Amino acid sequence: MTEKIIIGLLSFFLIVAIGLILWIYISKSRKKTLENIKKEAKQERKNIISNAYRDISEMKISFQREREVKIHEMELIKNRILLKEDVLDKDQEILKIRQARLDGYEIALEKRSQEYDFKISEVITSLEVISGYSKEEAKQYLIEQVKQRSKLEINTFLKNAKLEAYNKAKDVGANILVEAMEKFVTNVVNEKTTNLIRLPNDEIKGRIIGKDGRNIKAFEQFGGVDIIIDETPEVVTVSSFNPIRREIATKTLEKLILDGRIQPSRIEHELLKQKEELDEIILETGQKTVQELGILDMDIELVKLIGRLKYRTSYGQNVLIHCIEVAKLSGSIAAELGLNIKDAIRGGLLHDIGKAVDFEIEGNHTALGIGKATLYGENEVVINAIAAHHEEVPKTSLISAIVSIADSMSAARPGARNNSVDEFFKRMSTLEKVITKLTGVDKVYALQSGRQIRVIVDPNLVGDNDMANLIEEIREQIMNNVTIPGEITITIIRETREIKIIK
């Protein structure tokens, strides 16, 4: 037990000794570490201070340099200012000298002005004494003389200007009309009151007639048209002066022929169906027309009436095409003259609008057109253009005159209207006959609907000096016997030939 205690004590002292030794060692090591840290801190402090002094020194040197540069720049600016001040001082001295000279000139001019006024007074007094007129009397006399001379010169100028304007007016007007016509050329659609329907065979004619004529009677009753079935092979004619009914009946009959079922109930049903479809086509045609002409605010009922004109013809001219042509011509002429283009186009388009209903309502197309345009809110300019385009009422605006001119241009240009072949040949024949009767005329050729006339004369009866008299005789004969719209150009040809046959 004693040994265990002794061993324990020795172990304790040993541990204490080891701990003491460790503590002493750590204490010395720590002290040495602290000394090293202090040395490093002192050295770092020296380095920082040294770097700071170096930076300060460099900044000081840089500042000194910049300061010297600024001082040098300021010296330069100061020298420039001083130079400018010297220049300004010199300029100011020069201005003072010039001002003094100008003051002297002004005084001298005032003196001369006074002397001039005095001299003028003396001259005027002398002139009054010599002429026997006072100053006011002479002034009035001079004014009267100037007025008389100016009046004469102005009158002469106005006469020349009027003559020149008159000479140019015809050419300018002709150019405007020709340019307008060239822009808008349309095709001619022949007038007709009948439609021909081709049949696949003649057996269909019997089915169209029906038992005891029931089908054809139903067609004529419900459609308001005449169905003409004659000996012409494979053809049926639909006849009516009402173009809308004629078109509906034609389309209905064509549909029924394709379908094969032709009977009164089917005829009535198909007529109603085709009427609805034609109403849609009429509205679409009217809308396309007003859109093409740039009209966006027209009443829809007027638009429908415009569409109906597609199926109306007058003297062989399709009325819708004619109205569109007149509208474009009117707009073009109005643009050249600086007038209201929109009113001109509307007046031209609507001038024959009465023809859309004149085959259904009693009255002439002008009165009917005025009524429709008034009913649907057209302005007074357009209404007067409709009313005056046949000279039935006075024109109240230039637009009305333009529409009337455009209407005549569209109707009277060569080939616009096909009245009839017989009338055309009759007119041309009359024209050639009245000229052929004149003495010395050998042959006559009427060309371009009578607007170009070639006259070949007998050189033995008509000499060169007689041609002027002959052309006047031709003109009188044409004016008295033939009416042709537009201008007529007459060309006389006189040719002398020597022929000899050598064998």
In the chain, which segments carry CATH 1.10.3210.10? 309-417
Tokens 């040809």 sit at which residue?
493
> Can you identify the CATH homologous superfamily of domain 186-293?
K Homology domain, type 1 (3.30.1370.10)
Instruction: Kindly report the three-state secondary structure assignment for every residue of 68-99.
Output: HHHHHHHHHHHHHHHHHHHHHHHHHHHHHHHH
Q: How confident is the model at residue 439 (pLDDT cuts 50, 70, 90)?
A: confident
Tokens 């240009």 sit at which residue?
413
When pLDDT is averaged across residues 427-444 and rounded to a whole number, the result is 83
In this predicted structure, the answer to whether residue 11 has a pLDDT above a threshold of 70 is yes
Asked whether the CA dihedral 269, 270, 276, 279 is positive or negative, the reply is: negative
pLDDT at 477: 84
Span 309-417: which CATH code?
1.10.3210.10
pLDDT at 149: 65
The larger pLDDT score, comparing residue 70 to residue 408, is at 70
Distance in angstroms between the alpha carbons of the first and the last residue of the chain: 190
In the chain, which segments carry CATH 3.30.70.1350? 424-494
Count of helix runs (H) and strand runs (E) in the chain: 14, 8
Q: How confident is the model at residue 345 (pLDDT cuts 50, 70, 90)?
A: very high
Q: How confident is the model at residue 384 (pLDDT cuts 50, 70, 90)?
A: very high
pTM, to two decimals: 0.48
pLDDT at 337: 86
**For 347-378, what is each residue's pLDDT tens digit?**
999 988 988 888 778 778 888 989 988 999 89
Instruction: Kindly report the three-state secondary structure assignment for every residue of 133-162.
Output: CCHHHHHHHHHHHHHHHHHHHHHHHHHHHH
Q: How confident is the model at residue 133 (pLDDT cuts 50, 70, 90)?
A: low
pLDDT at 46: 83
**For 228-271, what is each residue's pLDDT tens digit?**
877 777 788 887 777 888 888 888 888 888 877 788 888 888 88
In the chain, which segments carry CATH 3.30.1370.10? 186-293
Considering the segment(s) 424-494 as one domain, its CATH architecture is 2-Layer Sandwich (3.30)
When pLDDT is averaged across residues 63-80 and rounded to a whole number, the result is 88
**For 395-416, what is each residue's pLDDT tens digit?**
888 998 899 888 887 776 555 5
In this predicted structure, the answer to whether residue 191 has a pLDDT above a threshold of 60 is no
